[in-house]
Amino acid sequence: MSMINYAAREINCKIVYYGTGLGGKTTNLEYVYSKVDPGTRGKMISLATEADRTLFFDFLPIDLGSIRGFKTRFHLYTVPGQVYYNASRKLILKGVDGLIFVADSQMHRREANIEAMHNLYENIEAYGYDLSRIPFVIQYNKRDMPEIASMEELRSELNPMGVPDFPGVAVRGDGVFETLKAVSKQVVKTLS
């Protein structure tokens, strides 16, 4: 899980954005990257496959303070959206400290959301992790689109554990930082 860099006096935490293809994981990460102070963030790295890509960057949020004299650095990752890249999805989850599931609110994406959530549960269990013990939040993205499922429908299908969840429109930044702050606070709490 978290890695401690004693030389830099930093605790490095890994947060993974998981969900369907084209659901908004990359848009969330790109929005965060565009708004974080360039002096506190690392370079965004994109690992491209034929039809999808994985993004990664790290940043040091100023407002979270320190834990026992250590600053907390967050490394944000997206997984490939397509389930046929499951080996990559699973590998990216290794050592995860916090999860954000980005669901696509559009009605026609219902089955893809459910499949991605089941895939997340399977991959987490393969590492012996317990999802109820990992900081976990859900974002219901694309709330600005026509023909979307209600928040109640999405919650009943995707959030049986009752984890914190947020509506979002990632292209505008709606819900992006609320989601990230919620999981970040949970991660920091597990470190204290």
Domain coordinates of the chain in residue numbers?
Answer: 3-191
DSSP-assigned beta bridge partners for residue 5:
10
List pLDDT tens digits, range 15-72: 999 999 899 998 999 999 999 988 888 888 887 666 555 667 666 665 556 677 888 8
Per-residue confidence at 7, pLDDT binned at 50, 70, 90?
confident
List pLDDT tens digits, range 11-30: 889 999 999 989 999 899 99
Most confident option among 8-12, 55-59, 185-189: 185-189
**Residue closest to 97 by CA, chosen among 8, 192, 186:** 186
Residue 73 identity (one-letter amino acid): R
What does DSSP assign to residue 71?
Answer: E
Tell me whether residue 44 is exposed, middle or buried, using C-beta atoms within 10 angstroms of its C-beta: 0 to 12, 13 to 18, 19 or more: middle
DSSP-assigned beta bridge partners for residue 74:
13, 59
**Residue closest to 164 by CA, chosen among 144, 136, 189, 187:** 136
What does DSSP assign to residue 103?
Answer: E
What does DSSP assign to residue 15?
Answer: E
**Residue closest to 165 by CA, chosen among 157, 120, 22:** 157
Structure tokens at 78: 């997206």
CATH code of 3-191, in short, is 3.40.50.300
